[in-house]
């Protein structure tokens, strides 16, 4: 009971009014990456529509598109640098709605055809934020509809209430209909890519993400770190205490690992007791330092009801300016993990690429294993 209460408190500490915890935060970041290309196309369509309507509604509304795009670009940069990326993302949504409202006000208020465009952004609220975020986004949008309507021509609104009722009814209906559709899609995707025991991503999610990371590294030139971790003598825990105790250990270890990660780091369970951490923007040294924090967290916390558990880690990383090749980097990290197991366990070993020594254990000069992908294999009982 004490352990469950501690978990609940930690989960509350990582939550915000827009995300219930780190798991939802990772899903929010994943969905935002998927929405970004569509969002850019939407801006293109809106720009074309404003150009076509320019002779009738004026050209001022076009000036609001660049700031709106800039708000989202700023949020994209900030979300990888802050612990709660949902805040800059929601701020970008609000700023975008403000710019659309400003364009509508300049184009004639409620008589401007663009007032219906305020219903576009709320479509994706439920895919990225909690229900409180959805409600807040809808209320903000409705407030902007009312502000534009009464600010431009209040007398016209009282004379013809439908000018206001129809737009904010559209906003509410869009949000109401999109929410269950998005939630259903999220649930089905989660069932497919989430390990049900630990709540971590699984192999299927890893295969889908590897190609995206390779493409991103080509553009940004940033390094990508890979940490492979394996519980020491896990088979002994199952044999001695039973599989229920083993499952409890796996769940608690997964929780401890996630606590140490940034919001945009990716954690996977790729085997029975084997875990993989992918660290965008992290070089070999920083990845090794994180692996040592992970090792310490596991060895110093009671897991699975108090069973003593340790974990070994291997670390690899692509170089700055290099294209990320998952199989090569994974093989380097896996070779380092094998060395950590062979030379005593409960330690971190770094791939022998440069002069960075192993942390938590004396350096070893064993050569790295051959470059082989073990995505389909798992280590048991090591």
DSSP string, 164-220: HHHHHHHHHHHHHHHHHHHHHHHHHHHHHHB-TTT--B-HHHHHHHHHHHHHHHHHH
Q: Do 92 and 15 belong to one domain?
A: yes
Average pLDDT, the chain: 81
Q: Do 153 and 238 belong to one domain?
A: no
* Tens digit of each residue's pLDDT (9 = 90 or more) over 1-31: 333 444 444 444 467 888 877 667 877 887 8
Could you list the residue range(s) of the whole structural domain that residue 278 is in? 203-350
- Report the distance separating Cα 24 and Cα 128, nearest Å: 8
- Report the distance separating Cα 341 and Cα 350, nearest Å: 12
**Is residue 4 a part of any domain in this protein?**
no
- Report the distance separating Cα 311 and Cα 316, nearest Å: 17
Q: Do 170 and 22 belong to one domain?
A: yes
Write the DSSP symbol of residue 152: H
Point out which residues pair with 228 in neighbouring strands.
276, 314
Q: Do 182 and 221 belong to one domain?
A: no
- Report the distance separating Cα 11 and Cα 17, nearest Å: 13
Q: How confident is the model at residue 188 (pLDDT cuts 50, 70, 90)?
A: low
Please say which residue of 193, 211, 232 terminates a domain.
193
Q: How confident is the model at residue 361 (pLDDT cuts 50, 70, 90)?
A: very low
**Is residue 360 a part of any domain in this protein?**
no
Domain count for the chain, please give it: 2
**Is residue 340 a part of any domain in this protein?**
yes
Residue 187 has pLDDT above 70, yes or no: no
* Tens digit of each residue's pLDDT (9 = 90 or more) over 44-83: 998 898 888 888 877 877 888 888 889 999 998 888 778 8
**Is residue 62 a part of any domain in this protein?**
yes
Q: Do 128 and 237 belong to one domain?
A: no
**Is residue 357 a part of any domain in this protein?**
no
Q: Do 150 and 103 belong to one domain?
A: yes
Please say which residue of 159, 193, 227 terminates a domain.
193
**Is residue 155 a part of any domain in this protein?**
yes
Q: Do 300 and 320 belong to one domain?
A: yes
Q: Do 38 and 172 belong to one domain?
A: yes
- Report the distance separating Cα 213 and Cα 264, nearest Å: 12
What pLDDT, on the 0 to 100 scale, is given for residue 191? 53
Q: Do 174 and 42 belong to one domain?
A: yes
Write the DSSP symbol of residue 66: H
Q: Do 169 and 210 belong to one domain?
A: no
């Amino acid at each position: 009971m004490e352990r469950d209460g501690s978990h609940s408190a930690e989960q509350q500490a990582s939550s915000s009014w827009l995300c219930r915890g780190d798991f939802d935060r990772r899903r929010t970041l994943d969905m935002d990456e998927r929405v970004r290309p569509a969002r850019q196309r939407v801006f293109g369509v809106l720009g074309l529509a404003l150009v076509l309507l320019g002779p009738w509604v004026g050209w001022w509304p076009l000036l609001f598109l660049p700031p709106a795009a800039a708000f989202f670009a700023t949020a994209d940069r900030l979300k990888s640098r802050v612990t709660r990326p949902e805040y800059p993302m929601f701020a970008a949504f609000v700023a975008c709605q403000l710019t659309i409202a400003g364009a509508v006000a300049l184009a004639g208020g409620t008589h401007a055809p663009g007032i219906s465009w305020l219903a576009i952004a709320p479509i994706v609220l439920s895919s990225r934020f909690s229900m409180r975020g959805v409600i807040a986004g809808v209320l903000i949008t409705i407030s902007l509809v009312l502000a534009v309507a009464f600010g431009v021509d209040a007398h016209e609104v009282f004379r013809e209430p439908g000018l206001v009722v129809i737009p904010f009814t559209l906003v509410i209906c869009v949000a109401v209909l999109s929410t269950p559709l998005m939630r259903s899609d999220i649930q089905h995707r989660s069932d497919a890519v989430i390990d049900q025991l630990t709540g971590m991503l699984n192999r299927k999610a890893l295969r889908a993400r590897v190609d995206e990371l390779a493409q991103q590294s080509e553009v940004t030139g940033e390094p990508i770190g890979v940490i492979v971790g394996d519980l020491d003598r896990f088979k002994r825990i199952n044999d001695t205490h039973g599989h229920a105790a083993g499952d409890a250990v796996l769940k608690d270890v997964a929780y401890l690992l996630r606590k140490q990660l940034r919001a945009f780091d990716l954690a996977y369970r790729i085997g029975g007791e084997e875990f993989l951490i992918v660290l965008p923007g992290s070089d070999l040294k920083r990845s090794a330092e994180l692996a040592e924090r992970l090792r310490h967290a596991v060895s110093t916390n009671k897991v699975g009801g108090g069973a003593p558990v340790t974990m070994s880690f291997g670390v690899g990383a692509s170089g700055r300016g290099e294209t990320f090749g998952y199989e090569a980097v994974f093989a380097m990290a896996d070779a380092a993990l094998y060395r950590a197991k062979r030379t005593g366990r409960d330690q971190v070993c770094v791939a022998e690429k440069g002069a960075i020594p192993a942390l938590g254990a004396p350096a070893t000069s064993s050569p790295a294993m051959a470059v082989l992908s073990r995505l389909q294999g798992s280590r048991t009982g090591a």
